[in-house]
Amino acid sequence: MPTDLIPRVAEAAEWRLVAAGLRQRVWALERFLADVYGAGECFADGVVPWRLTCASDKFRREVAGLAPPTGVRVHVAGIDLARGEAGELRVTGDNVRIPAGVAAVLESRPAMHLAWPAVPGDHRILPPGQYPSRLLSALRAAAPHGVADPCVVLLTPGVHNAAYPEHALLARLMGVELVEGRQLSCYRNRVYVQAARGRRQVDVVYRRVDDDWLDPLHFRPDSMLGCAGLINAARAGNVTIANAVGNGVADDKRIHGYVPDLIRYYLNEEPLLPNAPSPCPGGRTMRLFAVNDGSDVLVLPGAVRGPAGNPMDTA
């Protein structure tokens, strides 16, 4: 993913608006997902056409009724913004499956400080460095009830995945085990990791593997990247999958236009950030990351540039 080494600096007032706007968006998408995999009230009330969801291949009926322990499905969101003609920031896309790119934010800032110490100078720019610890605390907070010291693992498709360096970096910065599917096993609806330190029960799987490949019992039967039994372990409430399975119904390009309505419907608030048509004509998009720990949504300072007009890779 292309990255600007020099961050675009937002004034404090604009940043506060963006942070509040993204927080609002993430909460609305959370409520929408809970509704889609629960009662479906937004369809009955005509807010979103049922056709869009029921015909979507991202709608995973396999997880209907599967309520995550703390209700959080979007542990990490990557939201794409672009400047409109008047310079105002508009949202061009939401990524609530497995948004990639945060490593560029984390690595480019220290690199910039080394290369051009004078550029940051007297500017007081918010540092992005707290992201790994905030992500880890959000993941730990998402663990099943009653787990005092949750075991979190980062599930990667492996070294051949384009985002593998990011997986390795995040695992290292969070101090969690970086695992591939073959190191996980399920036994009686519990998930275990076979790691250097022995076999241990896993409470939270921060997965960077697509839904399709996550559990051969429920999704692609030929998958070697996931772990058979994972979905039913989550259904039994013994493990949390982050982000939740089936989130793709909320970041579908066809749902994008309805997000302002979802904000009004679920939160009874006016959207703070306007929507832009997706893909955004012309302008360069940038992706901001937000972490939801169930009580608060933290928006990470620092954006990564997205290719203009192209749907983002979410590997």
Q: What torsion do the CA atoms of 250, 207, 78, 24 make, to the nearest 10 degrees?
A: 60
Distance linking the first and last C-alpha atoms of the chain: 11
157/216 with CB nearer another protein: 216
- Which of these ranges, 26-34, 143-151, 232-240, 261-269, lies near another protein under the rule CB under 8 A? 232-240
- Token pair, residue 82, equals 């672009």
**Phi, psi dihedral angles at 59 (to 5 degrees):** -80, 115
Give the integer Cα–Cα distance in Å for 297 and 295.
Answer: 7
Site mask, another protein, residues 13-52, x = CB under 8 A? ---------------------------x--x------xx-
**What is the pattern of x (binds another protein, CB under 8 A) and - over residues 111-150?**
----------------------------------------
CB of 21 to another protein, least distance (A): 33
Burial tier of 105 (Cβ tally within 10 Å: 0-12, 13-18, 19+): buried
Number of residues that bind another protein (CB under 8 A): 23
Q: Report the distance separating Cα 151 and Cα 161, nearest Å.
A: 24
What is the Cα–Cα distance from 50 to 40, expressed in whole angstroms? Answer: 9
Applying CB under 8 A, among 185, 195, 309, 314 the residue interacting with another protein is 185
229 binds another protein (CB under 8 A): yes
* Closest approach of another protein to the CB of residue 221, in Å: 6
User: CB of 261: closest distance to another protein in angstroms?
Assistant: 18
Length of the chain as a residue count: 315
Q: Which residues bind another protein (CB under 8 A)?
A: 40, 43, 50-51, 54-55, 61-62, 64-65, 185-189, 216-217, 221, 228-229, 232, 235-236
